[in-house]
Amino acid sequence: MKTIKRMMEHQLWANRELLSGVRESGKDNREALKLLRHIAVAEQVWITRLSGESSGKLQLWTDDAELASLTELIASNESRYAAFMDGLTEERLDDIVTYANQSGTVFHTSIRDILTHVALHGQYHRGQINRVLREASGEPKALDFILYARLS
């Protein structure tokens, strides 16, 4: 349980750091914003499913990302995940969540596997955003877990 909680705390910290990096770049980098939006909406999708609600109305990929709306969505996700994690026990980690993906296909997945996926999925795309920032002469953000561990 402690490891999953640390992974989720890192994920939320890394999102804030990367949002700051995109903001600091001072550029309207559409690719970085699109990827950051994808991370935020994917996290919204999963917390919605973990809450027993349908995520069918949420679009994972669009080209209309704006920094202000992403800031709000990331803050909302952080609040929702924090509340979910506060109420989660070791015994519930292997509970099965039944949900439909964006195409309507039904799946059954443990809470443990969903949270692990959320943490790893975000890490992949944050790396892509850092590459985009570097290519646009921006400053990539250091987001490794070990840095988070040293700071916390």
Q: What is the pLDDT of residue 63?
A: 87
Q: What is the pLDDT of residue 137?
A: 83
Provide the pairing of β-strand 96-100 with 106-110: antiparallel
Q: Give φ, ψ of 76 to 5 degrees.
A: -65, -45
| pLDDT at residue 33 tops 90 | yes
Take residue 147 and report the two structure tokens written for it: 């840095």
Position 58 confidence tier, pLDDT thresholds 50, 70, 90: very high
Q: Which of 110, 100, 35 is nearest to 70 (CA)?
A: 35
If you average pLDDT over residues 70-95, what whole number do you get? 97
Across the chain, mean pLDDT equals 95
If you average pLDDT over residues 48-68, what whole number do you get? 94
Crossing angle of helices 30-50 and 111-135, in 10° steps, is: 170
Query: Residue 10 annotated as binding?
Result: no
- Residue 42: give the domain boundaries: 2-151
Higher pLDDT, 24 or 84: 84
If you average pLDDT over residues 67-84, what whole number do you get? 96
Other beta carbons within 10 Å of 49: 19
Take residue 63 and report the two structure tokens written for it: 């080209």
Secondary structure of 52-63 in HEC code, one letter for each residue? CCCCCCCCCCCC
Query: Residue 38 annotated as binding?
Result: yes
Q: What is the pLDDT of residue 28?
A: 80
Amino acid present at 122: G
Query: Residue 121 annotated as binding?
Result: yes
Tell me how many domains the chain contains: 1
Proportion of the chain above pLDDT 70, given as a percent: 99
Q: What is the rounded CA–CA span in Å between residue 146 and residue 6?
A: 11
Q: Do 32 and 132 meet the contact criterion of CB atoms below 8 Å apart?
A: yes
CATH of the domain at 67: 1.20.120.450
| pLDDT at residue 84 tops 90 | yes
Residue 142 is classified by DSSP as P
| pLDDT at residue 5 tops 90 | yes
Residue partners of 53: CB distance under 8 A and separation at least 6: none
